Structure 1
Amino acid sequence: MEADAVARASRPGTTGSLTAQLRELGLPAGATVIVHSSLSRLGWVAGGAQALVLALLAAVGPEGTLVMPAHSRNLTEPSDWGDPPVPQAWWEIIRAETPPFDPRTTPTGHMGATVECFRAFPGVLRSNHPTVSFAALGPLAARITQGHELADGLGEGSPLARLYDADAWVLLLGVGHDNNTSLHLAEYRADAPKTYHRQGSPVLVDGRREWVTYRELDDDTSLFDPLARDFAEITGGEVTGTVGAGAARLMRQRALVDFAARWLTQRAANRA
């Protein structure tokens, strides 16, 4: 993968060059922004994930708040696992013995090097959700991460809704809208049929480890790319550019979520 990154770039990315590109893209100082990224798709960066995090922090400045999803989807119901599945004889062992979620020490899972680097930065706060937590640093970090509800973890009781309240930005670096967690909030808000499943995770309850169950929405990320294409074409609300050697997309989260909720509602009505 590092060889691919080198081949993708005409010159090394640096904290300074990435910061300049983020500003040229239109990310304003003082912004509250949720970032989804693939470091390898930005070409080779001197300093890797640390350099990208520093560039993002420099771009928004001390008055801005940087947010990233810090999910740990390995802390889920093992009977649902399929990539790979585990033997049924293991399920109860996993439920009984997996360490409980701890915002300070639980690693992210399949989120990439940048998120794992960012969550360890001094002062970063992380919401207390075992599978879909968010990490944040900046003046609004506490407001965004506090009170993350267990059920419907990407809905109204989540940091995504607090980002909406703050009129935040969404920044996609080297990834598409299928990685855009804000669209899950739109799924909850859409007037469309919804189905749910029962999730389970190990958590601390009054200092004691417990396996708890709760509700999650059945999502459909296959709709995210066509939905987002319509958002860009109809509203003109998505700015595109280059950061490092990768594609970058920047938009206001509130405008995107409102459009997406209407789009999903209309789609459901057309199919009724």
Structure 2
Amino acid sequence: MNDIVASTPLPNTIKTITNDLRKLGLEKGMTVIVHSSLSSIGWVSGGAVAVVEALMKVITEEGTIIMPTQSSDLSDPKHWSRPPVPEEWWQIIRDNVPAFEPHITPTRAMGKVVECFRTYPNVVRSNHPLGSFAAWGKHAEEITMNQSLSMSLGEESPLRKIYDLDGYILLIGVGYDSNTSVHLSEVRTGACELLKVGAPILENGERVWKEFVDMDYDSDKFVEIGVEFERKGTVTNGKIGNATCRLMKQRDIVDFGTEWFLKKNQ
């Protein structure tokens, strides 16, 4: 905390963050998926709440804000690596981890802004136990409804709906490896292998461990894709507090990523 204070010239507030968002190109009525690092902004008066309030003030309910709200700690423990758990634990975890519930289940490793946003009034969350999304505003219900259990980041996901709405991506202090939308490019090109996964869900009010097929998503190439994409000059760069930020059309980078994977897979 002392380092953050020392590196912040003046406190960031709802007002200053609002101004920075508008300077970057955010405006009323946009559909935008946001990925963020609160600490990258510097010291913020109000913390994550101030960031969420500023986003809502700029976009308004005439637009839509979306954030990924993934809960990977509900996944099959046999796939865990950070950290792994003993094999004799696996079935105990499968049998006992609570079922996913959109209004209750916390996110894992998604950041303070996301965890704050998902608790806000009128924010709705898709019903996927591992790869859910939360949304607020005009298209929130449309974007979050009927997310496919299998191929969770594919054609029946909120990512596809943002694509169809010609929405934007905002990266606040995070790199392209956090740019979830490029997973849609992976699905469209079959860039990754399929695997059987599992998670606890509610079926007819009862908790069950549900197995399904999904892609073994891999963001390792996303930074390389982002660097090449920026050479096209279709990314707006700016600052929110101390945070380096990027604003881009989601459709543009998904299409670019699709072409990139197709070329690499030839």
Residue in 1 that maps onto 2:225: 227
Aligned counterpart for 1:253 among listed residues 238, 250, 266 = 250
How far does residue 4 in structure 1 lie from its aligned partner after superposition? 2.9
Residue in 1 that maps onto 2:73: 74
Structure 2 matches for 1:148-187, cutoff 5 A? Answer: 148-187=147-186
Deviations 1:178-197 (A, max 9, x none): 0000000011112x554111
| Corresponding residue SS for 1:222 | coil
How far does residue 78 in structure 1 lie from its aligned partner after superposition? 0.6
Q: Is the 8 A contact 1:7 1:43 kept in 2?
A: no
Residue in 1 that maps onto 2:206: 208
Q: Is the 8 A contact 2:32 2:170 kept in 1?
A: yes
Whether 1:130 aligns to 2:129 is yes
Q: Within 1, Cα distance between the matches of 2:219 and 2:191? A: 15
Structure 2 matches for 1:83-94, cutoff 5 A? Answer: 83-94=82-93
> 5+ residue gaps in structure 2?
none
Residue in 1 that maps onto 2:235: 238
Q: Within 2, Cα distance between the matches of 1:73 and 1:5? A: 29
State the superposition RMSD in angstroms: 1.0
Q: Within 2, Cα distance between the matches of 1:5 and 1:169? A: 29
Q: Within 2, Cα distance between the matches of 1:67 and 1:267? A: 30
Letter in 2 for 1:114: V
Letter in 2 for 1:229: V
Letter in 1 for 2:85: V
Q: Is the 8 A contact 1:32 1:169 kept in 2?
A: yes
Provide TM-score, normalisation by structure 2: 0.98
| Corresponding residue SS for 2:174 | coil
Residue in 1 that maps onto 2:259: 262
Question: Stretches of 4+ moved more than 3 A in 1?
Answer: none
Q: Within 2, Cα distance between the matches of 1:188 and 1:8? A: 41
How far does residue 29 in structure 1 lie from its aligned partner after superposition? 1.2
Letter in 2 for 1:169: Y
How far does residue 124 in structure 1 lie from its aligned partner after superposition? 0.5
Provide TM-score, normalisation by structure 1: 0.96
Compared CA separation, residues 258 and 40, structure 1 to 2 (3 A): same
Aligned counterpart for 1:199 among listed residues 197, 200, 205 = 197
Task: Give me the identity figure in percent.
Answer: 46
Question: How many residues are paired up?
Answer: 266
Q: Within 2, Cα distance between the matches of 1:13 and 1:204? A: 41
Letter in 2 for 1:161: R
Q: Within 2, Cα distance between the matches of 1:193 and 1:69? A: 21
